[in-house]
Every structure is written in C-alpha cells, then in structure tokens.
Amino acid sequence: MDTILGHATRSVKLLNEWLAENGCPEYAELYQSAGERYGVRWDIAIFQSTHETAYWTFRGDVPESHNNFSGIGATGGGNPGEKFNTPKAGILAQIQHLAEYAGVDVPEAETVAERTRYVDDWIRGTAKYWKDLTGRWATDMQYWQKIQGHMRKFDKWAAERLADEAGYWVDIFKSGNAFLMKGSLAVDMVATGLLVDKISVIKDYFGTRAATFTVAPHDKPEPTIIAPEPEPITDSLLVDPEATFHAKDVWIDWAEDFPRMYTKYKYPKGYTEGAIVHHTAGGDIVGSLQYLSRVGFPCLGNSRQGVVYQPFPLSEGGPHCGSWHHRRMVGIESAGWGKLVKIGNKFYAWPKKDGRYLYEVPEHRVRHIPKQDGNRQPGYYEMFTDVQEKSLLKVILWCKVNAPDIFSIDNVLGHDEVTPANKNDPGGSLSMNMADFRALVEQEYQKLKAAQ
Ligand SMILES: [Zn+2]
C-alpha cells in the first residue's frame, strides 16, 4: 500500500522525460527537493499533479498562472483556490499539505499555503496512505484510483523505456511482469530475483537507492552487433602504409560542395570502412551541418530533397557517434526531426520555447513504430523522404563501388546500433530496420556489379 511518507522510487531524470513527453514542464527536481525536505513521496505527488492539472492543461477551476498544481483551496463551484508566486512555491505548498495529512507538523513560519495554516490541526495525521486522501483532499471518490492510473502509465512507460535503453533488457523486462504490477521498479526487480549486471543503468535511472542493492552478474551475454573494439589507434599508426588503397577518389563527384569541415582522424586504411547512418534531429540540413562544423562533429549531409553535401574527403573524419567507429567510418546525417512527441492526435519535434513545442510535423510525415523492430525503438518518427532515402542508398553504394576492398556493407550501421543506450537515430526515420537496409545495399551492389 502506498504511503504518503517515504522514499521515492522513481528518478528525476525519467520523470522529467515522461513529463516532457506529455507536454508538462520538467519540474521533477522541484518535487524532489520539497519532498525530501518533509519526507513525502514526491514522485507520487507528481502523479497527483498530472491528475489535478490534467497534464498541465488546467481544464478545471485553477488557472495555470496560479502555480497551484494540486488544487489547494479550490473547493469547487468555480473557486480558483490559492495562488502561488512561482512553481517552486506551489510545489512546496503541495508537499507541505501532504506532509500535514500524513502527520508531519510543518512549522508555521515555513508554511506556504493559507489553507494549510488554516486546516493543519484538523487534517494532521488523518491520511497515512494515499488512498486515504479520497474524500478528503478531493470529494471525488475515484481520486486515488485516478492518481494511480497516471502512476501505472508512467511505470509501464518507464519499463519499456528502460528496456529500450539496453537491447537485451527487453527479454528480462518482459519476463518480469510481477514487478510491473507492483509498480516500484528497482525494488521489485530485485524482489523477483532478476540478477543484473547493468548497475550503471539502474543507478542512473533510480538514483542512489539502487546502489545499495546486491547485484550479481547474469549469464546472458551482450549481443554482438559488430566486431569487438580493435586495439587503440595511436597517431603514428593512423595511416597504414601497407593498406591496399585503390579508391578512385575521396570526393564524391556528384555531391554538393560545403565549406570544409575540421577533421580529427585520418582513417587507418586511407578510406572509410563503412558508414554510420544518422538523422539530424534538426531542421534544414545546411543549418545542421553548420552546427556540426562548429562543434567539431564532421559528417556528410543529406537533405529532405535528397541533396548530398560533402564537407571533407572520405579519407578522414572526426567524432560523430560516441564510439570507436568514427575513427574508421564516415557519418551520414540525413535531415529529420527523428523521434516525435505525440499529444492528442498531433506530433511535435523536440524543440520547445516557453513550455510549448515549436514545430508540428504533419501526420502524413510521421511513421509509427509500435514495437521494437531490430534497431528501431518504438515511437513516432519523422520519416525520411523517398528521395532522401534513395540518396542515402546512392551515397553508400558510391562509397562501396569506389573502394570495394575497404568499404564493407556489414559496416553500414545505425547510430542506434552503435550506441543503442542513448540514441534512436535513424530508428523509425528510415523505412526499414538497419539489417534490412544492409540487405538492400548488398542486393543493389550485386546488381551494379552484374551490370559492369
Ligand atoms: Zn546520430
């Protein structure tokens, strides 16, 4: 049974991501600092607020400008309730009110809400459990059930999200139904006997609590997506003098020019050994390439119109995928917002200003990936255009045909295959998963060879 007082079992990071995906401000830190001050389950208080504010749409009596996210003093009949100067103050008031219900005597001088000061002696200690708030905090007899509904949605989302974070976790989570039903992920994972060695993932998502759990390695090996990491490349070995490099050229003759980008590595074989497929998570390709140039992540570009830009030769490159791969392989960025946020029946790209999403992506440009499909994580994505996908295929084929002994189609990888824990590109932006895409490249390459 969920008590009002106690330690939170959900992390700030994950809660904020979930809030953002649901169009709510990322206030988890504010809940945490207030909650920890009074020992209140601040994670559950967030679900109380998503219920009270209808995910920050404020359809009830309380206007957004009141920063009153739990309806304090809003007693019905159009009464807008109390007004707090800042979100921080409103959240502190909510936590204090909860603390009083649970039996904490909040010092008068600290008390934020008028209402709390007024009723504290009557309510103090009348609700040990969240369910006790039904009929007290609100007259709605479904009050706690509704809050619980939000909590369960989050827990389900979090489990899937966490599963996505590290490929093989999917199986573990799917077999661990029991913990889902109980809600408190970290605790119940251990309770159901799941032995995990990815303590860093758990720790990251559930805060320091998880670090105290006894964790043993399990026998399930990590999936091998590509060859193991080669020996570190030292500067003197950057170019292999024995490399059989017969590339006709390191500049793609049909690509558009772009101001030369700074590169960091010369590829050891004098030519790219593969290609990492990205989406920009951005708007137009020129802006994205300018950004990548500024921050020192050199990549080829591919616009939504299928125009390919080449800012540096195929014999050298720089960081672009958070992995050793960029020391040997070129990155190709295709313009696209990537993963989208769905609100109602509309889809939005990630950039926000003043709490509102800036860009809506029309539905016919959206691809839905309902469940994990190879590298493709579930979600909604802006799809690459047809010409853009054709250009991507064309540039990869060009790289292969140009130096078939060096460029390997097996090394045509999605960024989400190389670093699946924190990337979802190209994900569902591409019309197929990367394994199918490699098969397509191979098939087209064989056709080209046969035609020669
Ligand atoms: Zn990427």
Neighbour-count burial of 343, counting CB atoms closer than 10 A to its CB (0-12 exposed, 13-18 middle, 19+ buried): middle
In 3D, which of 28, 11, 10 has the Cα closest to residue 19?
Answer: 28
**Residues lining ligand 1 (ion), CB within 5 A?**
278, 415, 425
Helices (H), 296-433: 386-402, 415-418
Q: Which token pair is 149?
A: 């509904």
- Per residue in 371-391, pLDDT (tens digit) is 999 999 999 999 999 889 999
**Amino acid type, 116:** T
- Residue ranges, comma separated, of all CATH 3.40.80.10 domains in the chain are 235-451
Average pLDDT, integer, range 108-137: 92
Compute, in angstroms, the gap from residue 259 CA to the centroid of ligand 1.
Answer: 21
Compute, in angstroms, the gap from residue 242 CA to the centroid of ligand 1.
Answer: 32
The β-bridge relationship of strands 256-257 and 308-310 is parallel
Compute, in angstroms, the gap from residue 55 CA to the centroid of ligand 1.
Answer: 31
Compute, in angstroms, the gap from residue 222 CA to the centroid of ligand 1.
Answer: 22
Q: Which residue has the higher pLDDT, 448 or 37?
A: 37
End-to-end CA distance of the chain: 72
Compute, in angstroms, the gap from residue 415 CA to the centroid of ligand 1.
Answer: 5
In 3D, which of 324, 315, 262, 269 has the Cα closest to residue 292?
Answer: 262
pLDDT of residue 422: 76
Compute, in angstroms, the gap from residue 113 CA to the centroid of ligand 1.
Answer: 47
Does the structural domain 235-451 have CATH classification 3.40.50.2030? Answer: no
Residue 62 has pLDDT above 60, yes or no: yes
Compute, in angstroms, the gap from residue 321 CA to the centroid of ligand 1.
Answer: 6
In 3D, which of 408, 412, 448 has the Cα closest to residue 433?
Answer: 412
How far, in Å, CA of 245 to CA of 119, rounded? 81
How far, in Å, CA of 311 to CA of 261, rounded? 5
Average pLDDT, integer, range 334-346: 93
Residue 230 has pLDDT above 50, yes or no: no
Neighbour-count burial of 254, counting CB atoms closer than 10 A to its CB (0-12 exposed, 13-18 middle, 19+ buried): exposed
At residue 163 the predicted structure's pLDDT band, cuts being 50, 70 and 90, is low
pLDDT of residue 233: 33
Compute, in angstroms, the gap from residue 94 CA to the centroid of ligand 1.
Answer: 41
At residue 74 the predicted structure's pLDDT band, cuts being 50, 70 and 90, is confident
What is the pTM (predicted TM-score) of this model? 0.49
Q: How many CA atoms are closer than 13 Å to the CA of 325, on its beta-carbon side? A: 26
Q: Which residue has the higher pLDDT, 214 or 20?
A: 20
CATH of segment(s) 12-149: 1.10.530
Mapped onto helix, strand or coil, the DSSP state of residue 241 is coil
Q: Which residue has the higher pLDDT, 89 or 226?
A: 89
Residue 315 has pLDDT above 80, yes or no: yes
pLDDT mean across residues, the chain:
80
